[in-house]
Structure formats: C-alpha cells, structure tokens
Structure 1
Amino acid sequence: MLTLNQVAYRWPDAAADCLHAISLELRDGEWLALTGDNGAGKSTLLRIMAGLLSPTSGSVTLNGEPIAQLKNRQRAAAIGVLFQEAENQIFHSNVAQEVAFGLKLQRLSAEEISRRTQAALRLCQLTDVAEAHPLDLHAAP
C-alpha cells in the first residue's frame, strides 16, 4: 500500500506550497489517474508518490516503509508512472517490447516476462496491436 500523510510541497524559492496537506491510500492493484488544470501539481504529486521527489512536509510510505529509504529497484517493482509526454518515454519499436521493458529491468526470467507481458496485453486489450509501434496507437473515434 502506498500512503501519503499530510504531504505538502514547495518549490525552491517559491513563496507558497504548490501542494497542501494531501493524504491518500493506494492499495496493491489499484490504479490512480490524476486530472486537473495545467500547473495544478499533478506531475509534482506523481513524482512524490514515486519517490522521485521528496515532500517539503508530510510522509510517503510504501508498505509501511518510508519511500525515500527504499532502493530504486524496490520502488520500481511496486510503482509505475506514466507522465504526460509519453513520446519521451518510448524505448522500443513495438507495444509488446515496451510492456516487457520494466519487467526486464527487474531481472525476471524470460518465461515470467513473457507470461506477465501477455497478461498485461490481454488486460489492456492490446493483444491485437502488440507488434505495432507505440506511437502509432490512437484512440478509437
């Protein structure tokens, strides 16, 4: 479980916090989408939740452990983040390889990577576009 308790953030040299007293719990298997106006703090909050940025005050824990004390590999195994500039985050030439990328970083066996990749493609209804380039995907009308 990812827990934020009274998290606030203030950018260096800023006069005021951009995030104020945010508390939430995100349980294993849950997904979260943040929406809001430009400059509302969505990306800042995601970076704090992923342990990429430390809050000015408050705490962030992953399964009861302070997220800042976890190794990158531990965080990566539990938390995935997709930022709004997806084209800057594409590393492979097809959807299946892109889905498998994070699993390879966890040094799982080839069989486990294949199993999890196929399961994720089915879950997201992407099996029919598994060999397509990720930037060629688009929303249906």
Structure 2
Amino acid sequence: MKTAIIVGVSILIAGIILTLSLPRRPNASVQATPSYIIDSKSLSKPYLMNSLLLTSPLPKEAKFTLRVGLYSEISQAIDKAQTINDSEPISIVKAIDRQKEWYFLLMGPYSTRLKAEQKKHDLQKKRISSTLSLWPKEADTQ
C-alpha cells in the first residue's frame, strides 16, 4: 500500500513538472490585429512593378511605403510577414515585371516622404531593413 502511494505521488509530481515545462500558448487577445494583410485585388490582377518605384518627377498625390521584403512565392512572403514584430500591419501585394511575379511586403501608406522616412528610422532601431517605395495607386481603390 505504501509503495502504491509513493508511486502515485511520484507520477503526479512528474506530471506537474512536465506540464509546467511546456511552452505557453500566446494569448489570443494580445494580437488584436493580423500581422499582415493580403491585397486580394493584386492577386487576381498584379500591379506593375514600376508603379512601386520612386520616379522623378513623382506622380501627383504620391503616397509612400516601406518595402520590408520581396519574395517570389506568397508562402515565403507570409512566413516573413509573421516574423516582423511591429505594431503596424504589413500588406502583401503582388506585382509583375517582365512576366515574373513578385510578392512585396509593404508598410504604409504614408502621406509624405518624411513620415515614411521616420518610420524607416523606427524600423532600423528594431533591426528591420526597409526601402522607400511608392504605394501602388491601384491599391487605393480597394
């Protein structure tokens, strides 16, 4: 009888220790917004890549964005978007250049170049590299 009690208590203690050592599940309420948004319009009709490039002179009413990634597969873009830890969501947009399709990770849009540059500086502090680009005009009509 004494041995059975000792074995039972030992199993109970081992179970508690194993339960406490398991990784904790993130609280679903911590992340109220998704870390990324897929631009579904661009999936069916990709934007032209040159619509994202800074040009001179800039188009009237140009909006700016920060490119934080560029991938040939949407799964790669989603994987990277999930790893970027920032309060601002990332838009995944599809663009085409010479029949090659690309998936851009974009932050923004920003109404001025200065606002985009300030966000770029904030990202640099977090060791997230970014490139200033134009927000695709077609994306505004969603």
- TM-score (norm: length of structure 2): 0.22
Structure with greater Cα Rg: 2
Higher strand share: 2
Specify which structure has the bigger relative contact order, considering alpha-carbon pairs within 8 angstroms and separated by 6 or more residues: 2
- TM-score (norm: length of structure 1): 0.22
